[in-house]
Amino acid sequence: MLSDEQLARYARQILLPGFDIAGQERLLAASVLVVGLGGLGSPVALYLGGAGVGRLLLADDDRVELSNLQRQLAHTQAGLGTNKAASAAAAVAARNPDVAVEVIAERLSEPRLRELARGVDLVVDCTDNYPARHALNRACIAAGVPLVSAAAVRAEGQIAVFHPAAGGPCYRCLYPEAGAATALSCSESGVLGPVVGVLGSLQAMEALKLLAGYGEALVGGLLVLDLASLEVRRLSIAPRPGCPDCAACR
């Protein structure tokens, strides 16, 4: 049962038809792993923490640099040089002490990712490279949990929910590992701060929908955004027959 303080804190989302107290109770009982606490991970951590997700595991071995502050809103000038996961955890705790936040300040091997994925309800991919995304994909398939993944560069971004256990495709169905060398990076191509803010906010929204049983999640869909022109497209993606990562779990 929600306390009076929790009813007051989460009142605006509890009011939503289809969300209600039952949705809030599901959030409070949920555990989420967020990998990468940069431009995407900052709004993800802050919004999931603000919404009352009961347990957040924040993973990043990087440190806050001056160039991050243009877009990574969980970090501040005072936090330069500190670990990003610890910095984001402090920002979440300052907003909502209701949330149990665990800091994972290490570079995660694939076996470690599989271990962590088995202990949560959902994983949010806020990384910036293909090898990490593919490792996360395999970890989530093995654990049977959804993966909310996004990417952003320049003024463009995309987001999808990968959940083969629910009949959807996996990350490798869309992006074969052979194409990993073609990824664009923000450090080379640039990015506007609000672009990662929009994509990270969409990731948080998809995570909340999945956890609370609210609305329709983006399983089997890919949302592609060009924020310079405000062009938004939703594409359908299907499981790839014979996918090396997820075909065996169907």
Find, among 234, 164, 132, 152, the residue nearest to 193 by Cα.
152
C-alpha dihedral sign at 44, 49, 51, 55: positive
Q: What share of the chain is helix, strand, coil (3-state, %, to 5)?
A: 45, 20, 35
Cα–Cα distances in angstroms (integers) from residue 166 to residues 34, 215, 218, 236, in the given order: 21, 16, 12, 15
Q: How many CA atoms lie within 13 A of 8 on its CB side?
A: 4
* Residue 104, H or E segment: strand 100-104
What integer pLDDT is reported at residue 185 of this predicted model?
Answer: 60
Q: How far apart are CA 108 and CA 121, in angstroms?
A: 18
Task: Count CB neighbours of 11 within 10 A.
Answer: 10
What integer pLDDT is reported at residue 190 of this predicted model?
Answer: 81
Please tell me whether residue 216 adopts helix, strand or coil conformation.
coil
What integer pLDDT is reported at residue 186 of this predicted model?
Answer: 59
Query: Model confidence over 2-53: pLDDT tens digits?
Result: 999 999 999 999 999 999 999 999 999 999 999 999 999 999 999 999 999 9
CA-based diameter of the chain, in Å?
A: 53
Cα 136 versus chain centre, distance: 11
Find, among 134, 133, 35, the residue nearest to 88 by Cα.
35
Helices 110-117 and 130-143 cross at an angle (nearest 10°) of: 40
What integer pLDDT is reported at residue 176 of this predicted model?
Answer: 86
159 phi, psi to nearest 5 deg: -145, 145
Query: Model confidence over 87-108: pLDDT tens digits?
Result: 999 999 999 999 999 999 999 9
- Residue at 192: amino acid letter: L
Two structure tokens written together for 200: 């990270």
Domains and their CATH numbers in the chain:
4-249 (3.40.50.720)
Task: Count CB neighbours of 87 within 10 A.
Answer: 27
> Can you list the residues of the chain whose pLDDT is less than 50?
181-182
